[in-house]
Amino acid sequence: MGDSGFKHSEAFLQWIWENLLFDFTALQTNEGQPVHVLDPGKQNVTDGPDFKQAIVQIGNLTWHGDVELHINNRGWLEHRHHEDPNYNNVILHVVAEKGGLPAITKSGQQLPTLNLEPHLSKELSRFLKSFSTSGKLNCSTGLQFISERAFYEQLDKAHLEYFEKKADDFLQYYDPELLPTQAWKYALVISLWDGLGISHNRKPMQKTACKWIQVINSENRLPAITEILEFAGFKNKINPDLKWNYKSVRPANHPRNRIIEAINLSEAIINLPFDHFLNLELAPAWDRFLYSAGLKKTGRYQILYGTVFLPALYMLGKLFAHQKLSDAAFSSWKHLKTPIPSSILSSFHSLPINNQRYRKKLGSVHLLNAYCKAGKCTECFVLKKAIQS
């Protein structure tokens, strides 16, 4: 099991313990003592044992203290808890695999161990083991039943979260010390350069965008393409501060080509009257914007329309008290259909989903990255529906 899978499976085991999602009528330690969980405790979000203030009856004694969970007994030694005095108050070691050396605290106390796996439902047990399957979604290998309705409820949630994230991302480039119109345009410039740098070259593209803006502010002129290409290291000498990644980069995505496109976009932004961006016909405005920059409406720019332009307009409405603009941007996002490269969403293709409209919904990217790959299965409607069924 890889490190990420191990971490995610332990988090899942903690969720099971916290919510008492197991048959606790006949629990017993590996030594054969009966166990009654009176209070699983409060999850610890800082260093130390997983749960604090637990109350557990073991045999005829009731213990108050901490509970630590691992997939197997090896976790206690691998995490070096036997050397850490913070774990001296642990009263129960909970695992999901049988066998291994017993857990011993730094004070020398051998802890009773509870193997939880035999007391889990078949669905939860199977899902817990699915974290060891590399390269596949846990729900595709760990669930026998997947509700399409639950999947799309989760997707809708992720779609809205993604928009909020992109709006927050835009604000990080907004400089409140500048004039609002100027600050907004510059934030849009950097956001577009950042988007054109995905996924390998975001940081150097951001730095190059800042250089482009710096020339405008310091010299009151639009920098020449050759000047920016030289700064980026694509003329006479390499810029050691910009580490470009060429791995798996197709010719069209080469940083030099993306920089030229970004410059054309940036010049169009600076030259367009500000009122242009207050237009409530958002998609036609984006098309005219691309046309003025001499760019075609490719799949990349359809994605940037959703991930950069709409969040920027949403924040513009908020910043200038133009609620209709914010509402229009948000509504456009909710109903947006954007072709996403199949390779990005290939993990979803194995799911038993008949309606595949997720292929054109940008929230699918957020669902995959923020939930599936991040191991946040316990926050997903798909798993919760499967457990309830």
Q: Map the chain to HEC letters.
A: CCHHHHHHHHHHHHHHHHCCCCCCCCCECCCCCEEEEEECCEECCCCCCCEEEEEEEECCEEEEEEEEECCCCHHHHHCCHHHCHHHCCEEEEEECCCCCCCCECCCCCECCEEECHHHCCHHHHHHHHHHHCCCCCHHHHHCCCCCHHHHHHHHHHHHHHHHHHHHHHHHCCCCCCCCHHHHHHHHHHHHHHHHHCCCCCHHHHHHHHHHHHHHHHHHCCCCCHHHHHHHHCCCCCCCCCCCCCCCCCCHHHCHHHHHHHHHHHHHHHHHCCHHHHHCCCHHHHHHHHHHHCCCCCCHHHHHHHHHHHHHHHHHHHHHCCCHHHHHHHHHHHHCCCCCCCCCCCHHHHHCCCCCCHHHHCCHHHHHHHHHHCCCCHHHCHHHHHHHHC
Give the confidence band of 369 by pLDDT, cuts at 50, 70, 90.
very high
Lowest mean pLDDT among 24-38, 188-202, 234-248: 234-248
Contact between 301 and 295 (Cβ < 8 Å) = yes
Backbone angles phi and psi of 67, in degrees to 5: -130, 135
The predicted model gives 248-266 an average pLDDT of 88
CB-based contact 305:286 (threshold 8 Å): yes
Percent of the chain predicted with pLDDT > 70: 97
* Other CB atoms within 10 Å distance of the CB of residue 174: 18
Residue 6's pLDDT band (boundaries 50, 70, 90)? low
1, pLDDT greater than 70:
no
280 falls in which pLDDT band (50, 70, 90)? confident
Q: Is the pLDDT of residue 386 over 70?
A: yes
pLDDT, average across residues 106-111: 96
Using the predicted structure, report yes or no on whether residue 315 has a pLDDT greater than 50. Answer: yes
Q: Which residues pair with 58 in a beta bridge?
A: 35, 61
Q: How confident is the model at residue 250 (pLDDT cuts 50, 70, 90)?
A: confident
Mean pLDDT of 329-337: 96
pLDDT > 60? residue 231: yes
24, pLDDT greater than 70? yes
First to last CA, the chain: 29
What pLDDT, on the 0 to 100 scale, is given for residue 251? 79
Q: How confident is the model at residue 237 (pLDDT cuts 50, 70, 90)?
A: confident
Dihedral class, residue 120 (left if φ above 0, else alpha if ψ from -120 to 50, else beta) = beta
Is the overall model pTM greater than 0.85, yes or no? yes
The CA-atom distances, in angstroms, between 77 and each of 44, 70, 101, 104, 106 are: 20, 11, 9, 9, 11
| pLDDT attached to residue 135 | 64
pLDDT of residue 175: 95
Rounded mean pLDDT of 97-116? 92
* Mean predicted confidence (pLDDT) in 214-231: 94
Q: Which two tokens stand for residue 263?
A: 């410059």
Sequence-ordered list of residues with C-beta below 8 angstroms from that of 97, at least 6 positions apart, any chain: 71, 72, 73, 115, 117
Kindly report, residue by residue over 134-185, the tens digit of the pLDDT. Answer: 667 888 888 888 999 999 999 999 999 999 999 999 999 999 999 999 999 9
Where does residue 278 rank: exposed (0-12), middle (13-18), buried (19+ CB within 10 A)? middle
pLDDT band at 2 (very low <50, low <70, confident <90, very high): very low
Band of the pLDDT at 3, cuts 50, 70, 90? very low
**C-beta separation of 190 from 173 below 8 A:** yes
State the pLDDT confidence band at 372, using cuts at 50, 70 and 90. very high
